[in-house]
Amino acid sequence: MTNRITRVIGVTGMPGSGKSLFAQYAAQKGYKTVIMGDVIRAKVIEEGFEPTPNNTQRVMVQVREKMGEDAVAHLTCKATDKLIEEENHRIIIDGIRSQAEVDHFKNHLNDEFVIVAIHVDPTLRYERLRLRGRKDAPQTEEDFKKRDESELKLGLGETIAFSNYIILNNRTLDEFRDSSLDLLNELEKGEE
């Protein structure tokens, strides 16, 4: 293994904030992405269930009750470790929800780990979620509010508040891309 600095960026934000878009922009700069939701969906399938939003939420809660609040982070670290072993030194972890997860990643990855929060006005998030047309998109504003409440109960608000960096995504995609790439460039300067 080389002595290159490994940079791992944890991305957090409410559903529909642009976490996946940030990861796509980072991929243009050579980052590999581990999606925490995919780690849980794999666990849902492993337990013999269809990975619906309800099953995914239920299994995530069960895993956390059984293994602790940082259980999903623990499972995710297996994927990040594999990427590092394969000489990938730029990694995005998409979907961090709690301070327990942040603490786990900081302990596991040391100084190479920072948190970026993506923030968007709730009304705009709701519209974006509906437009992207995924199965788990909220059908009503009430569904949207319930989903947000569920996420906040996991500690997402605290995680966003204590992030190292916050990017606002209330404007155009071009502006969000530029802000994302500016931050990634700034982080790269710290690697030199």
Average of pLDDT values for 80-95? 93
Looking at residues 104-126, what average pLDDT do you find? Answer: 91
pLDDT at residue 159 greater than cutoff 80: yes
Q: Six-digit token pair at 27? A: 């991929």
Question: With 90 as the cut, is the pLDDT of residue 26 above it?
Answer: yes
In a 3-state reduction of DSSP, which class is residue 44? helix
Q: 7-12 and 32-35 as β-strands: parallel, antiparallel, unpaired?
A: unpaired
Rounded to a whole number of angstroms, the CA Rg of the chain reads: 16
Give 41-77 pLDDT, tens digit per residue: 999 999 999 888 788 888 988 898 999 989 999 999 9
Burial class of residue 152 (count of CB atoms within 10 Å of its CB; 0-12, 13-18, 19+): middle
User: Domains in the chain, ordered, with CATH?
Assistant: 7-183 (3.40.50.300)
